[in-house]
Amino acid sequence: MRHLLRVGDLHRQDLDYLLDRAEHFKHHPTAARKLLKGRTVLLYFAKPSTRTRISTETAVVRLGGVPLTVGSGELQLGRGETIGDTARVVSSYAAAVVIRTYRDADVEAFARSPEVPVVNALTDGHHPMQAITDLMTIREHFGDLRGRKIAYVGAANNVATSLTQAATLAGMTVAVATPPACAPAGMVTTADPFEAVKEADVVYTDVWMSMGDPEEERAARTAALEPYRVTPELMAAAAPHAVFMHCLPAHRGEEVTAEVMDGPASVVFRQAANRLPVAQAVLEALLTGKLAGSI
């Protein structure tokens, strides 16, 4: 497997491998500090980022390389050079390419030609590095994954998709509560957030408006999602030991109340911190050919 574009492309053993390596990097940050010596990794961001950008840049440095981060408008892509030509050229310089953009098809097109690994750092459809981090955080907290229940409550988006795929791969139970009108095809959902969180070990949410979602949908979407806010009452309906998770950035008072976000059940900042060892693990695994998955 050369690229990480979707969690769905990973095999079960790939996920276990990445979680083990991420845990190792968390305790030994400079393990593999020569892997990228004298090499660069290109990070392309067509959408804003705090966690993904800073953790991945830091991961590259910890692996001995130099991160080169560019925004949209800085490459010739914006002036009509094709994705395929850009990918071929860039892969003759950089050891890996990390891409955050809109269309999944664009990342797939980018990944078609290069000999170097391509990592999806969030698209409209997927957020694989986040989902691997989420599982790492759950495993760290509970000591295991298999048989645990995760309830995702809110907008059924890129984060929900990757989280569902990762949790399923790990043998967890997933319940997604989202307004029926927003439920994407293929995702098993319920309309009732209280039903979803019943006996859940993890209650997870994300912003109601993702980057790139049409602004004109904000009012209708916010109204539809109002009953899906994670409140202390909703947390009380989950298992007594349940933790609250959020990929961040969070909007207190929208998808989650400040009480829950900043309360004792919240593990969101540990979750955010885990992005760094996961970025190291993903880059290392791809660069050393350790993943068996399909692409």
- Distance, CA of 196 to CA of 154 (rounded, Å): 11
Choose from ligand CP, ligand NVA, none: what does 162 bind? Cβ within 5-8 Å by kind: none
Catalytic residue, chosen from 124, 134, 206, 246, is 206
In the bound state, the residue with its beta carbon closest to ligand NVA is 210
Q: Tell me: does residue 248 bind ligand CP (CB under 6 A).
A: yes
Q: Does 10 bind ligand CP (CB under 6 A)?
A: no
Q: Are 148 and 168 in contact (CB under 8 A)?
A: no
When asked if residue 247 is in the footprint of ligand NVA (CB under 6 A), the reply is yes
What is the rounded distance in angstroms from the CA atom of residue 56 to the CA atom of residue 250?
Answer: 20
For ligand NVA, the closer CB: 201 or 206: 206
Q: Please report, as residue ranges, which positions from 45 to 74 form the binding site for ligand CP (by CB under 6 A).
A: 49-52
- 130: annotated active-site residue: yes
| 206 in catalytic set | yes
Interaction of residue 126 with ligand CP, rule CB under 6 A = no
Instruction: For the segment 142-201, give every residue that binds ligand NVA (CB under 6 A).
Output: 157-159
Residue 275 annotated as catalytic: yes
Q: Which residue of 121, 207, 261, 286 would you call a contact of ligand NVA, by CB under 6 A?
A: 207
Measured in whole angstroms, the distance separating CA 287 from the mean position of its chain's CA atoms is 20
- 122 interacts with ligand CP by CB under 6 A: yes
Could you tell me if residue 293 is left (phi over 0), alpha (psi between -120 and 50 degrees) or otherwise beta? beta
* Catalytic residue set: 100, 127, 130, 206, 247, 275
Residues binding ligand CP (CB under 6 A)? 49-52, 122, 130, 247-249
Residues binding ligand NVA (CB under 6 A)? 122, 157-159, 206-207, 210-211, 247
